[in-house]
Structure 1
Amino acid sequence: MTHSQIDFPAVIGYVTPLSARSGERLDFKISSTDNRDINARVVRLDCCDPNPLGPGLKSTEVDFGLNQSYRATEQQTCLGSCAIGPVPTLPDTRNLMLSLLIKPTLLSITDQVIFSLQDETGSTGVVLALNNGTLLLKRLGMPTRQEVDLHLEINRWSKLEICFGLQKVTIRSTLLNTRKKTVESSVLMEGLQTTLKNTDHLCLAASWSGHPVDCFNGSIEAPCLCSSPLAATTDTEVLARWSFAKDVQKQTVVDDIDPSRHLTLVNMPMRGVRSSGWTGRNMDWKTAPDEYAAIAFHADDLSDCQWSTTLAIRVPAGVPSGVYGLIVDNPSGNDTIPFYVLPGADSPRRKILFLAPTFTYMAYANHARGTFAGALQNRVREWNAYPYNPDTVGAFGYSNYNRHPDGSGITLSSRLRPIMTMRPGYLVYPDENGSGMRGFASDSHLTDWLKAKGFEFDVITDEDLDREGVDTLAHYDVVLTGTQPEYHTRRTLEALIAYREGGGKLMYLGGNGFYWKIGRDPSHPHMIEVRRAEGGMRVWASQPGEYYHQLDGEYGGLWRRNGIAPQQVSGVGFTAEGAFEGTYYVRTPESFRSELAFLFEGIPPGQKIGDFGLSGGGAAGFEIDQVCSDLGTPDFVTVIAASEGHGPTFETTFEELLLPGVFDGGPRPYGGIRSNIVYGIDENGGGLFSVGSITFCGSLSHNHYDNNVSRLLENCLRKFLADSHITDEPPQCPFRSNLPSKGE
Structure 2
Amino acid sequence: MLALTGYANRLSVIAGQSIRFHVSNHSGQALEAGLVRVVCADPNPDIGGVRYEACELPVLELSTPGPQSVPLGSYARLGPADLLKGIRSFTLCFHLQARLHSSETQVICSTIDDDLNGIQFELSPQGQLVLQLASQNESQFFRFDETLQRHCWYRCKLVIDALSGTFTWQLRDLSHADGKSMLQTHPVLGSFVGSSAALSIASASSQLPRQCFNGRIEDPWLIAEALPLDSELNLAEAASHPKCLGAWDFSQGFETQTLVDIGPNQHHGELFNTPTRAVRGSLWTGKEHCFRHAPRQYAAIHFHQDDLDDCRWPVTHEVRIPEGFASDAYALMLKTENYQENIPFFVVPKLGTSKAKIAVLVSTYTYTVYGNHARPEWFADPAWQKSYIEQAKAWHAYPYNPGEHQDYGLSTYNSHPDGSGIGLISWRRPMLNLRMGYITYPYPSIRASGLRHYPADSHLLMWLKHHQLDYELVTDEELHREGLARLKPYKTVLTGSHPEYHTEQMLNALKAYRDQGGTLVYLGGNGFYWKVALDPTREGIIEVRRAEGGIRAWAAEPGEYFHQFDGEYGGLWRRNARPPQQLVGVGFTAQGNFVGSYYRIRQEVRENPRVNWILEGVDSDIIGTEGFSGHGAAGFELDRVDEHQGTPEQAIVIASSENHPPDAPWVLVPEEQLTHITTIPGKSHKELIRADMTYFDCNGGGAVFSVGSITFCGSLPVNNFNNDCSKVLLNIVNRFISR
Which bin holds the TM-score, normalised by the shorter protein?
A: over 0.9
Q: Does 1:202 align with 2:206?
A: no
1:36 offset after TM fit, Å? 4.4
Distance (whole Å) between structure 1 residues aligned to residue 425 and residue 178 of structure 2: 40
Q: Is the 8 A contact 1:443 1:697 kept in 2?
A: yes
Residue number in structure 2 paired with 1:375: 387
What TM-score does the superposition give when structure 1 sets the normalisation length? 0.92
Q: Does 1:501 align with 2:515?
A: yes
CA deviation digits over 1:320-379, x for unaligned, max 9?
Answer: 011110111212422111111111345342000000001111111111113332211211
Distance (whole Å) between structure 2 residues aligned to residue 114 and residue 345 of structure 1: 49
Residue number in structure 1 paired with 2:192: 193
Residue number in structure 2 paired with 1:172: 170
Residue number in structure 2 paired with 1:219: 216
1:68 offset after TM fit, Å? 8.4
SS of 1:207 mapped into structure 2? coil
1:96 offset after TM fit, Å? 1.2
Distance (whole Å) between structure 2 residues aligned to residue 218 and residue 116 of structure 1: 15
Q: Is the 8 A contact 2:289 2:560 kept in 1?
A: yes
Out of 650, 655, 658, the residue aligned to residue 641 of structure 1 is: 655
1:156 offset after TM fit, Å? 0.5
Distance (whole Å) between structure 1 residues aligned to residue 201 and residue 562 of structure 2: 24
Q: Does 1:364 align with 2:370?
A: yes
1:210 offset after TM fit, Å? 3.0
Distance (whole Å) between structure 1 residues aligned to residue 308 and residue 115 of structure 2: 21
Residue number in structure 1 paired with 2:349: 343
Letter in 1 for 2:92: L
1:149 offset after TM fit, Å? 2.7
Residue number in structure 1 paired with 2:286: 280
Aligned length: 712
Q: Is the 8 A contact 2:160 2:226 kept in 1?
A: no
Residue number in structure 2 paired with 1:729: none
Distance (whole Å) between structure 2 residues aligned to residue 231 and residue 515 of structure 1: 55
Distance (whole Å) between structure 2 residues aligned to residue 28 and residue 695 of structure 1: 32
Residue number in structure 2 paired with 1:397: 409
Distance (whole Å) between structure 2 residues aligned to residue 324 and residue 201 of structure 1: 44
Distance (whole Å) between structure 1 residues aligned to residue 534 and residue 602 of structure 2: 41
Q: Is the 8 A contact 1:39 1:68 kept in 2?
A: no
Q: Is the 8 A contact 2:18 2:318 kept in 1?
A: yes
Distance (whole Å) between structure 1 residues aligned to residue 120 and residue 540 of structure 2: 33
Residue number in structure 2 paired with 1:734: none
1:716 offset after TM fit, Å? 1.1
Distance (whole Å) between structure 1 residues aligned to residue 486 and residue 265 of structure 2: 42
Distance (whole Å) between structure 2 residues aligned to residue 381 and residue 482 of structure 1: 27
Letter in 2 for 1:100: F
1:94 offset after TM fit, Å? 3.2
Q: Does 1:292 align with 2:298?
A: yes
Q: Is the 8 A contact 1:511 1:623 kept in 2?
A: yes
Q: Is the 8 A contact 2:156 2:171 kept in 1?
A: yes
Q: Does 1:447 align with 2:465?
A: no
| Alpha-carbon spacing, 1:192–1:400, altered in 2? closer, same or farther (3 Å) | farther
Distance (whole Å) between structure 2 residues aligned to residue 663 and residue 233 of structure 1: 57
| Alpha-carbon spacing, 1:259–1:693, altered in 2? closer, same or farther (3 Å) | farther
Letter in 1 for 2:52: S
Distance (whole Å) between structure 1 residues aligned to residue 130 and residue 196 of structure 2: 19
1:89 offset after TM fit, Å? 4.5
SS of 1:397 mapped into structure 2? coil
SS of 1:472 mapped into structure 2? helix
CA deviation digits over 1:440-478, x for unaligned, max 9?
Answer: 110111111111111110001111100111111011001
1:112 offset after TM fit, Å? 0.5
CA deviation digits over 1:267-325, x for unaligned, max 9?
Answer: 00100000000000000000101100111101111111111100122112332011110
1:532 offset after TM fit, Å? 0.8
Out of 33, 56, 59, the residue aligned to residue 63 of structure 1 is: 56
SS of 1:77 mapped into structure 2? coil
| Alpha-carbon spacing, 1:557–1:143, altered in 2? closer, same or farther (3 Å) | farther
Residue number in structure 1 paired with 2:4: 11
SS of 2:326 mapped into structure 1? coil
SS of 1:611 mapped into structure 2? coil
Out of 606, 619, 641, the residue aligned to residue 604 of structure 1 is: 619
Q: Does 1:109 align with 2:109?
A: no
Residue number in structure 2 paired with 1:677: 693
Q: Is the 8 A contact 1:40 1:69 kept in 2?
A: no
Letter in 2 for 1:172: Q
Distance (whole Å) between structure 2 residues aligned to residue 397 and residue 674 of structure 1: 35
Distance (whole Å) between structure 2 residues aligned to residue 265 and residue 142 of structure 1: 29
CA deviation digits over 1:465-514, x for unaligned, max 9?
Answer: 00111111011001000101011111111111111111111000000000
Give unpaired runs (5+ residues) of structure 1.
Answer: 1-7, 724-744
Letter in 2 for 1:602: G
1:683 offset after TM fit, Å? 3.8
Q: How does 1:30-49 map to 2 (within 5 A)?
A: 30-33=23-26, 36-49=29-42
Q: Is the 8 A contact 1:488 1:518 kept in 2?
A: yes
CA deviation digits over 1:240-268, x for unaligned, max 9?
Answer: 11011111111011221245421110000
Q: Does 1:125 align with 2:118?
A: yes
Letter in 1 for 2:159: C
1:665 offset after TM fit, Å? 3.6
Out of 311, 321, 328, the residue aligned to residue 317 of structure 2 is: 311
SS of 1:354 mapped into structure 2? strand
Q: Is the 8 A contact 1:86 1:263 kept in 2?
A: yes
Q: Is the 8 A contact 1:371 1:391 kept in 2?
A: no
Residue number in structure 2 paired with 1:74: 67
Distance (whole Å) between structure 2 residues aligned to residue 620 and residue 142 of structure 1: 67
Q: Does 1:483 align with 2:480?
A: no
| Alpha-carbon spacing, 1:11–1:55, altered in 2? closer, same or farther (3 Å) | same
Residue number in structure 1 paired with 2:381: none
Residue number in structure 2 paired with 1:163: 159
Residue number in structure 2 paired with 1:99: 93
Q: Is the 8 A contact 1:148 1:187 kept in 2?
A: no
Distance (whole Å) between structure 1 residues aligned to residue 617 and residue 295 of structure 2: 63
1:681 offset after TM fit, Å? 2.2
Letter in 2 for 1:297: F
CA deviation digits over 1:134-176, x for unaligned, max 9?
Answer: 1223367969662413432211100000122446542101101
Letter in 2 for 1:325: A
Residue number in structure 2 paired with 1:328: 334
SS of 2:509 mapped into structure 1? helix
1:117 offset after TM fit, Å? 1.2
Distance (whole Å) between structure 1 residues aligned to residue 34 and residue 430 of structure 2: 18
| Alpha-carbon spacing, 1:467–1:328, altered in 2? closer, same or farther (3 Å) | same
Distance (whole Å) between structure 2 residues aligned to residue 670 and residue 174 of structure 1: 55
Q: Is the 8 A contact 2:60 2:318 kept in 1?
A: no
- Aligned residues with identical type, % of pairs: 40
Distance (whole Å) between structure 2 residues aligned to residue 517 and residue 122 of structure 1: 48
1:92 offset after TM fit, Å? 6.5
User: For the aligned residues, what is the CA RMSD?
Assistant: 2.3
* Runs of 4+ off more than 6 Å: 231-236, 666-670
CA deviation digits over 1:510-529, x for unaligned, max 9?
Answer: 00000011111331221111
| Alpha-carbon spacing, 1:257–1:316, altered in 2? closer, same or farther (3 Å) | same
Give unpaired runs (5+ residues) of structure 2.
Answer: 232-240, 379-384
Residue number in structure 2 paired with 1:613: 627
Letter in 2 for 1:421: N
Distance (whole Å) between structure 2 residues aligned to residue 384 and residue 122 of structure 1: 52
Moved more, 659-668 or 625-634: 659-668
Letter in 1 for 2:673: L
Out of 685, 704, 708, the residue aligned to residue 692 of structure 1 is: 708
Q: Is the 8 A contact 2:491 2:736 kept in 1?
A: yes
Letter in 1 for 2:565: L
SS of 1:659 mapped into structure 2? coil
